[in-house]
Structures are given as structure tokens and as C-alpha cells.
Structure 1
């Protein structure tokens, strides 16, 4: 029968417990918390700062910790914004305006957000809008034309597409479907 030891040999039990204890230094605790947050998903500098403020960390410690994370490249709002624009446009179908608003809410600088949104090609944005409209066309086939147009243009507007692009895409897709688009011209004026 095997015998099990209840503690490690050579008195390492106390050392192990000490290593498992959370750090007492406020900067170390704040850094560890930020690192835990960053393991789940990328975050902006502002998001991390807000999380530390909620934990009642001193502003001096926040600046120190975020400065160090910035130095080593763990916080990069430019990369975050570019990734966010690509991901949300591809998977959620969001347009430029909605993407800029989301980045603003996440604390990304307006210039950084605008630069990231510039990376969104107009042709790609238009094609994504077309895909969204095509997906909704079949479901609205029996509805009144005015209602149908209003719903399709409204859907694109809520997703952050410009009014001009929304009308252009809806017009083209309805025409491709064989629908009379003169009503659309009346509604646009």
C-alpha cells in the first residue's frame, strides 16, 4: 500500500503557500487583474482604466500599470480598432458609422477610430450591405412596397450604413428582383 505525504519534503509547504498568495503590492495586483482581463479578449486602454477605477485603484497606479502594458505591447488601441472594424463588419454587418460609434464607446481616440474605419473598403461595405438586403428580401416578399423599402433602408441605417448607400443598395436589389423602383425614387426625395 502506497503512503502519501501530506506536505512536500524539505519544508516547501510554506514557500508554496506564499507563492499562491495574491501580491500585496497595489501595482502588482492591478497588473495581474489587467492581465487576467486581457487573456479573455483584447481591450482598449480606456476599458482597462475603467475596470481598475471600478476596483478603486489609485490613478497613479493605474497610469503606471497601463503605461507598462503599453510599453510591452499588450495594449494597442490602433490594433484593437483595426481588428474590431474587420470583425464587426464581417460578422455583424455593421457599417462605418456604427463602427465609429462602438469604438468611441470603447474609449478609442476619434482619430484612431477614423483611421481604422478608413481601412474599410467602400466596395466591401457595399457588398456587405447587399448581402444583408438579399437576406431580408425573401422574408418581406408579400409586404406592401412602401413598407418593404422602409424596412430594408431602416435595417441598413440601424447597422450604420449611410442613407445614400442604403437607398442605392435597396434600389439595386429590388430592381434585380424585378420590383418597380420608381416608388423608391419618390420616397428618397
Structure 2
């Protein structure tokens, strides 16, 4: 038997083409991809499913692997979401609305999102809103009260706080900072009512 025929019979030789190597098991590939992702940090099932789909893994294979990862607690959307809510609220001051939006974007189910958001104490949320305003307040001192109010309320709104809560917190902060004249007080009271009504309509 010639050398080339003997090498072919015994298996692929160094430098042989990829076509000579059997295709990898899709389950093994999916498992390897998931482990690689998890090595960089916790991931939701939805995030891992998206990565697997991009890598060309069939949905049924992905479901099989992800089911197994959930069984052994390598993937746990509930634990991930609860930790995410507490961490992001503490680090960025995000309110429930913004946190829920981010979790849904990571593929977390509505039921799990709702449960995770329930772990955020309303008193903590209010305290964080007040701290955010207190930090931002000094940089607005050169503005008139209307501009200050709208800027501070807008800041809280972008972080997911309702219009009613944002207005109350800003109004408290401005009132505590100085004595308001009649026009300023009338403006705050009027805007307070407008935003509270808008918040009730949107809820």
C-alpha cells in the first residue's frame, strides 16, 4: 500500500483539508459557545439563544442545550434579573420602568421581570430620586426656576421615574433650597398638577 493511501486509511494527515474532518457535533458546539459566554459573566437564556442563533445553531439544538444549562443552574433568569435590578439601581439610579425595559431587551419574560422589579423597595426608589436631584441641583443654580425644574424632571424621567414622583422630588428640593416667591411657587404647583395628571393617564 502506498504512503498516501495508508495515510488516508488511518485518518486525516497534517495539512489535509477541512472537508476531510467530520463536522463537529452541534450540541457540543452550542455547549462550548454558551460556556464561553458565561465565562465572561452571567447571561440570560434569551441572550444565549441570540448568540447561538447568530452562530448558526438550530433552534432545537439551542433549546436542548439551554434546557440543560437551566437544570444545572448555569442559566437562571430569575436570579440574574433580581441581581440586575439591585445592581443597576444602585450604580445608575434607574427606576423600575427603565430597569424593566432593559431586562426585556435581554430576553427576560414579563413574569420574571415583574418579580424582579418587586424586589426594589419603593422607599429606596424615592431616596435614590432625591439623591440624584441633590447631586444635580447645584449645576442648575444659574437658571430660572422653570428651567431648573424642567431640566431636573427630565433627568429623572430619562432614568424611568414617573412624572408625578419626579415633580414632587424636584419641587421638594427647590423649596428646601430657598424661599420661593409667589410666581415661582405658582409655577411649581401648576406643573406638579400637570405632570401628576399625565402620569395617571399613562399608568
1:27-42 correspondence runs (5 A): 27-42=27-42
Question: Would you say the 8 A contact 2:44–2:107 is kept in 1?
Answer: yes
For 1:10, the equivalent position in structure 2 comes to none
Q: CA RMSD in A?
A: 1.4
Query: Secondary structure in 2 aligned to 1:107?
Result: coil
SS of residue in 1 equivalent to 2:155: helix
Q: Secondary structure at the match of 1:57?
A: coil
Does the 8 Å CA contact 2:168/2:192 hold for their aligned counterparts? no
Residue aligned with 1:83, SS? helix
Q: Deviations over 1:37-66 (max 9, x none)?
A: 011111110100000000010112101110
The yes-or-no answer on 1:123 pairing with 2:127 is: no
Unmatched segments (≥5 aa) in structure 2: 1-22, 194-203
Which digits, 9 at most, give the CA deviation of each residue in 1:62-89, with x for residues without a partner?
0111011011001110001101100110
User: 1:162 — aligned with what?
Assistant: 162
- 2:141 aligns to what? 141
Structure 1 ranges of 4+ moved more than 6 A: none
Q: How many residues align?
A: 168
Once the two structures are superposed, the pairs formed by residues 1-150 of structure 1 within 5 Å of their partners are: 24-150=24-150
- Does the CA-based 8 Å contact 2:157-2:166 persist in structure 1? yes
Distance in 2 between residues matched to 1:81 and 1:163, nearest whole Å: 25
Indicate whether 1:185 and 2:189 are aligned. yes
Distance 1:179 1:70 in 2: 58
**Inter-partner Cα distance in structure 1 for 2:136 and 2:179:** 15
Inter-partner Cα distance in structure 1 for 2:33 and 2:66:
11
TM-score between the two structures when normalised by the length of structure 2: 0.80
For the residue of structure 2 that corresponds to 1:108, the secondary structure is coil
State the distance in 1 between where 2:96 and 2:149 align: 21
Q: Give per-residue Cα distances to partners, 1:151-170, cap 9 Å, x unaligned.
A: 00011011001111111111
Q: Is the contact made by 2:167 and 2:192 (CA closer than 8 Å) also made in structure 1?
A: yes
Q: Tell me which moved more, 170-179 or 154-163.
A: 170-179
Rounded Cα–Cα distance in structure 1 between residues aligned with 2:61 and 2:39: 21
Tell me the distance in 1 between the aligned counterparts of 2:97 and 2:142: 31
